[in-house]
Structure formats: C-alpha cells, structure tokens
C-alpha cells in the first residue's frame, strides 16, 4: 500500500512548510540523482523516483490528504461480527452463507495488499455485504479503501452505515467524523 512515509524522507511534518519541503526536495534530488551515483545507477534511479513521487504527493493538498488518511488508518483483517444474522438456539455451526461471506472477506484482504488489485478487493467486500448486509468489517474495509482512493463521500457512506447497524463501533464513529472533515473542510478551504 504505502511504500514510505514521505514526511520522514523529507524531514517535514504537518503542517507542511512548503519552503522547507522544496528545499529538502532539491537537496535530495541532487544527492540521489543517478549522475551523482554512477556506480549505483539503478538504486539512484529508484531513490530519485521515490523522491519525485513523494514530493508530488506532499506538495498537492488533496493528494497529501489521501496520503495522511493512508498513514493513519488500515483495514480490519478479522472477520468480526455479523449484525442482523438470526440464528436459532440449536444452530451452533456457521451457515453456508456465513462461510461464503467469510471467504469473500478474506480474499478481499489479500487483494487489498496491492493497489493494482483494489478493485477486486472492493468487489469481494461488496459480495460479503450482498450475502450478509450487516457484515460490519466488510463495510469498514470498503470505507477505508474509499478513503485510500480519495473518495471520501463513499467512505463516509460506509462509516454511516456501520454506525447505524452497530452504534457501539467507536472507531467507525471517529472515521465518520474524520471523513466529514475531509469533505466539508476541503469545500470550506476552496470555496
């Protein structure tokens, strides 16, 4: 997911001092440029690309917002609870639907590990919710994935759904407030 903490690489921390970021960028590009490291050219190219990528994220307020979200929050890997699944007293075993939903969930976690397969992760978790609408951690992971993609309105919908079906989920309440800040804070600052 996130390769590096770009704040650490550049030695700048929120709130960003743009002048300090630019100064650090110029210094790092100069230091790691392939022309200055002819004996380690591949490594230098890789480092320079990482620096350019990090700079392009930190200098852009919207990209930095998504990056900050990625640094702070992660998906839930445990199955968690199913809200609204009614079982009879004698039903101890999981139903086939529950087993299927759990398998979709676990596969989604696997796909989440690479940005290239985030669409498959999303699909897997949506399948969980089709089978068990009260699958809290599938909703949660969809919210986190949406935040990672900068789709904060979609993330907000996921966290709102969780708070409706599981009002005791404090982490989702917190993330609901944070995503509201991303959505409405951006409008206020750009309006």
Q: 115 falls in which pLDDT band (50, 70, 90)? A: confident
pLDDT of 1 reads 53
Answer yes or no: are the C-beta atoms of 159 and 151 closer than 8 Å. Answer: no
Mean pLDDT of 57-72: 90
Q: What percent of the chain has pLDDT over 90?
A: 68
54 exposure class (CB count in 10 Å sphere: 0-12, 13-18, 19+)? buried
Same domain, 12 and 88: no
Domain housing 42 = 6-59
Same domain as 141, residue 182: yes
In a shared domain, residues 96 and 35: no
Q: Write down how long the chain is.
A: 191
Looking at the structure, do residues 51 and 23 belong to the same domain, yes or no? yes
Split into its structural domains, the chain has a count of 2
Q: What pLDDT score was predicted for residue 191? A: 36
Q: Verify that 55 and 79 share a domain, yes or no.
A: no
Residues 144 and 186 in one domain: yes
Q: Per the domain annotation, does 46 fall within a domain?
A: yes
């Amino acid at each position: 997911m996130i390769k590096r903490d770009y704040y650490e690489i550049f030695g700048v921390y929120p709130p960003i001092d743009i002048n300090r970021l630019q100064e650090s960028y110029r210094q790092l590009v100069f230091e790691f440029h392939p022309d200055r490291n002819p004996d380690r050219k591949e490594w230098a190219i890789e480092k320079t690309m990482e620096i350019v990528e990090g700079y392009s994220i930190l200098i852009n307020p919207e990209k930095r917002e998504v990056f900050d979200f990625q640094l702070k929050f992660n998906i839930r890997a445990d199955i968690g609870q199913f809200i609204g699944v009614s079982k009879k007293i004698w039903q101890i075993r999981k139903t086939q639907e529950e087993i299927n939903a759990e398998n979709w969930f676990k596969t989604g976690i696997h796909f989440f590990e690479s940005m290239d397969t985030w669409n498959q992760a999303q699909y897997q978790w949506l399948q969980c919710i089709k089978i068990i609408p009260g699958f809290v951690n599938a909703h949660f992971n969809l919210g986190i994935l949406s935040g990672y993609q900068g789709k904060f309105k979609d993330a907000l919908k996921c966290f709102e759904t969780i708070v409706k079906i599981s009002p005791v989920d404090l982490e989702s309440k917190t993330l609901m407030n944070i995503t509201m800040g991303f959505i409405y804070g951006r409008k206020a600052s750009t309006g």
